[in-house]
Structure 1
C-alpha cells in the first residue's frame, strides 16, 4: 500500500478545481477496465459493471461520509456475485442488491458502521485472501481463452486440462502470452519516469494492441439501456433474503476497511463511518433498482485518486461522468480489448487480495491469528463466502476467550511446611478446574502454611473468586493476598 500523503485544502478556503479534474481522469482510466473486468468475471454483461461505476461516481460521490475514497464494482465481490447469479438467476441480482442497499442504509442510521472496525483483522485478511484465491483460480481459465467452470471444485479439477490447453492450443498460447504481457507491463511501469500514468491502463492498451494480431475472444459492450432491468419482487424468498444479508455485510465490511486504509493516505477530513455506510447503501439501492452489480469502496481506485492529487469529492464525481460519456460516445473501443487482458488485471487484483507477504508476516508474529486467517480463507474456498466468514468470526471469538482465560499458577515450596502459590493472568471459569486441582493438591494439616498471591491476577470472575474463598475456608493456615486492581465482581 502506498505511503503517499495527500495534502487537502484547508476547510473554508476556495480551492482550484483543476487538481480534482486531473485526478478524476486518472481514476477514470483505472476504473474503466476494472468495471468491465469485474462484470465479465461475475458472469454478467459488461455494461452492468459500468453502470455501477457511474452510480459510484455520480451518486455516492456526491454524498457525505468519505472525501477521497472511490466506489464501484469490486473484484472482492466477483465470487459472491457469480455464486448468487448461479443460484438465483441473473434476474434476482437487482432485487438482492436493492435489499442489501436498504440494509446498509438501516445499519448506518442505527450507527452500526463503527462496529465493523471491531472485527478481528485475521478474519478480514482471511476473507480477502479466500476471495483472492478463488478469483485468481477462476481467471486462469479466460487467461487461457477457456470458459471457467461453475464451481470451485470443478475449477481445481480442470487445472490439468487447462495447463494442456494453454500450452498446446493456438488460442491458449495467445491468451497466456497476452496475459503475461499485461502483468509484466503493469508491474514494470511503476518503475518508469512516467508512472503518473496508470500502469494498468498502459498494460491494457499495450496488450490489446498486440492482441489485435491474435485470434482471441474480446469484450462486447452495447447500450446501457439494453441491460437495465426493473426489480422483480416476485423472486423474493428465503434464499434471496439470505443473499441480501450476505451482500450487505460483505460490501459494508470491504467499504469501511477501505475507508480506514484511505484515511491513512491523506491528511484531510476523516471518514464518518456511519454516514459512509448510508452513502454506500444509497448507491447499492440505486444499483439494485437498475439491475446492476453491487458496489463497495475500492482501494485501488481510491489510492489512485489520492496519489493523483485529489483535494475534494469533485474528482470521484467527475470520474463517474467520464465513465458515462465514454460508454455513450465510444463503446466500440472496448471491443478491441481481449478477455485475456481483463483476466490478467483481475489475477493481479486477486493476488493483492491474497497478499501472501502479509500472511507470512502474521505466521511469524502470531500463529493463532494466522490459524484463524487460514481457516477463514480455506473454508471460503471449500464452501462459500458466508460460511467461511462466519466460522472465522466464531474462531476469532473462541481464540479471544482462550486468550482472556490464560492463567499461570506457580507453586514454590519454602521449607517442608510452607508453600507459595503465585497466580497470574485472567482467572475465569475456563481455567477453574486446573486452578482447583493445583490448590487441592497442596498438603494440608496442622503447621502447614499456604500463601496464595493473587496480585498478578488481571481479572477474577465470580466462579473463581468463590471457589478460592471456599477452598481457603476449608483449609488451615491459608493466607490470601487479594489482587489490588483486578476486575473482581462483588
Structure 2
C-alpha cells in the first residue's frame, strides 16, 4: 500500500455535497469491512479481549475522525503495537493497560501542543524501517502458532525453540493458508469485483469453509462491550508503568506520522498538519485509556483503503467508526464464526508487509552502514524488546551521522627539510582528533604552517588541542578558519612561541 504514490482527485474540489456524501458513504463501508477483522485480530494477538480492539476502532473513527490534522487518514488498533501491548500486559497485567494508554495519549497531546510533531519526520529512515521490520518478525514469529492451532509461547526463546515442532498439516493451518492465498490472489481480479477488499473476501471464504465442513478449530469469542470496558485504575502506577507510557507515546506517534506522510502521497487534497494530527491521536488514546482499551495509531492499511475507495472528506472515517459500533452492538455473534487461524493469517500477512524484505535488501545494497543500523534495530527488537531495539538503533544512527559529517582531510606538504605545510579541510570534530594529533605530532622540528582556512567546522576539543600543540612548538603559524575573521579572509595569528621568538 505504501508504494502507491498515485494521487487521487482532491477530496471535495468540483463535487457537489451529494456527490461527496455518496463517495464518503461508500468508502466508509469499505474501510469498515477492512477494519473489523483487523481490530479483532490485533486484540486477540495482543492478549486482550477481542471487544477492546473494536472499542479502539470506534474511538479512532468517531473521536479522532472528527478532529483536525489529517482528512483521509484512518486510526485504530495497529499491528505495529501488538508486540508492545502483549509484552506490557504480560509484565503489568491488563489492569494497567488503561492508565498506560491514557498517559501515552496525554504525552502525545503535550508533544503536539509543543509543536514537536514535525520532528518525528527527522528520525533516520534506517531506524524506522528497522523498527517496522523487527515488529514484523516478532509478529510473524508469534502468529505462526495460532495459525496451526497452537497456543503461542510466552518468550521469544520459547517461540524459536518451538518452531520445529509446529504441524503444518492441521485444519487450522489449512484455513490460514487459504486466507493468505485468497488475499494475495484477489489483487489480480479485474473489474468492479476486484474492488471488494481482499481481506473481506479471504475472511469470508475461510470462515465459510470452516462452517460448511464443521471443522473443530478455535474460534473468536465476542461478547458485549459493556462487559470489557473498565475505567482507568491509577493504583497501578509505578516506574515501569511510566516507562511504558513513554514508549507507547513515542512509538504510536512515530507510526501515525509516518503513515500520514505515506497517505499524503496517495492523494492531492489537503496535507496533514503534523502537530494537530499528533494532538488528535493523543486525544484518541486518552479516551481509549479511560475505557481500558487498546492504544491506537493511524493505520496505513485502512487509510490506503479509504483513499482507494474514493473518500473525499473526513466523513468517511467517522462513518466507519459508526458502522463498527453498530455491528458489535447488533451482530456480535457473526464474529464467532471466524476461526482464530484466519485472524492469525491476517497478522502474518501484515507482519510480512511490515518486514518488507525487498526494501531491506535495497537499503543494505545501497548503503551498508545504513543497512547495519537497520539490521541492528530489527535484531535487537526480536532478541530483546521494542524500546531497547529502537533506542539502540537511534543511537547507532546518531553515531553514524556524526562520523559521516566529521570527514576530515589532513595533507602534509614538505617545502624543504625544515618547512612543512599542513592543509586541513572538512569538519574537525572530536571523532577525528586522534588522527589529526597523530599527524601533527609526527612532524619534525622546524617551521610549520597549519592552514585551517578550509575547515567548515572546528569544535572546541579540536580547537583547544591544536592550540596546545602549537604553543609547545617554535615556528608554528596557524591560519584559522575563515569564519573566525570579520573580513572573510584567513585570520593569521602567531602562536605564543612565535611571539617569544619575534621578541
The match for 1:127 is 131
**Mapped partners of 1:477, 1:239: distance in 2:** 61
Matched, 1:347 2:348: yes
1:113 corresponds to which of 117, 125, 133:
117
Residues 12, 312 of structure 2: 8 Å contact kept: no
**TM-fit CA distance, 1:439:** 2.0
The more displaced of 315-324 and 117-126 is 117-126
Matched, 1:152 2:149: no
Residues 418, 445 of structure 2: 8 Å contact kept: no
The match for 1:202 is 201
**TM-fit CA distance, 1:28:** 0.8
The 5 A counterparts of 1:231-270 are: 231-270=232-271
For the structure 1 residues 216 and 8, does the alpha-carbon distance in structure 2 shift closer, same or farther, using more than 3 Å as the test?
same
1:102 corresponds to which of 96, 100, 106:
106
Matched, 1:220 2:221: yes
The match for 1:311 is 312
1:70 corresponds to which of 57, 68, 74:
74
Q: Cα deviation per residue 1:40-98 (whole Å; 9 max; x = unaligned)?
A: 10111111111110110011000001111100000011111111111111122112111
Q: Cα deviation per residue 1:94-149 (whole Å; 9 max; x = unaligned)?
A: 12111211121122122221221222222211111111111000000000000001
**Mapped partners of 1:105, 1:344: distance in 2:** 35
1:181 corresponds to which of 178, 183, 186:
178
**Mapped partners of 2:383, 2:13: distance in 1:** 49
**Mapped partners of 2:485, 2:310: distance in 1:** 50
**Mapped partners of 2:229, 2:54: distance in 1:** 12
**TM-fit CA distance, 1:472:** 4.9
The match for 2:284 is 283
1:140 corresponds to which of 136, 144, 163:
144
In the alignment of these two chains, the number of paired residues is 479
Let me know the Cα RMSD of the aligned residues: 2.3
The match for 1:389 is 390
**Mapped partners of 2:92, 2:464: distance in 1:** 55
Matched, 1:5 2:7: yes
Structure 1 residue ranges without an equivalent (≥5): 168-172
Residues 457, 486 of structure 1: 8 Å contact kept: no
Q: Cα deviation per residue 1:191-246 (whole Å; 9 max; x = unaligned)?
A: 11133211111111112222221221111111111111122222222222221121
Q: Cα deviation per residue 1:19-45 (whole Å; 9 max; x = unaligned)?
A: 111111111111111001001101111
**TM-fit CA distance, 1:421:** 3.3
The match for 1:431 is 432
**TM-fit CA distance, 1:473:** 6.0
The 5 A counterparts of 1:368-379 are: 368-379=369-380
**Mapped partners of 1:466, 1:388: distance in 2:** 37
**TM-fit CA distance, 1:466:** 4.2
Residues 459, 486 of structure 1: 8 Å contact kept: no
**TM-fit CA distance, 1:184:** 1.2
**Mapped partners of 1:486, 1:229: distance in 2:** 64
Structure 2 residue ranges without an equivalent (≥5): 492-503
TM-score, structure 2 as length reference: 0.90
Q: Cα deviation per residue 1:129-188 (whole Å; 9 max; x = unaligned)?
A: 1111110000000000000011111111111222xx334xxxxx2122111111111111
1:195 counterpart SS class: helix
1:458 corresponds to which of 453, 456, 459:
456
1:132 counterpart SS class: helix
Q: Cα deviation per residue 1:438-458 (whole Å; 9 max; x = unaligned)?
A: 12322333xx6x554445422
The more displaced of 35-44 and 256-265 is 256-265
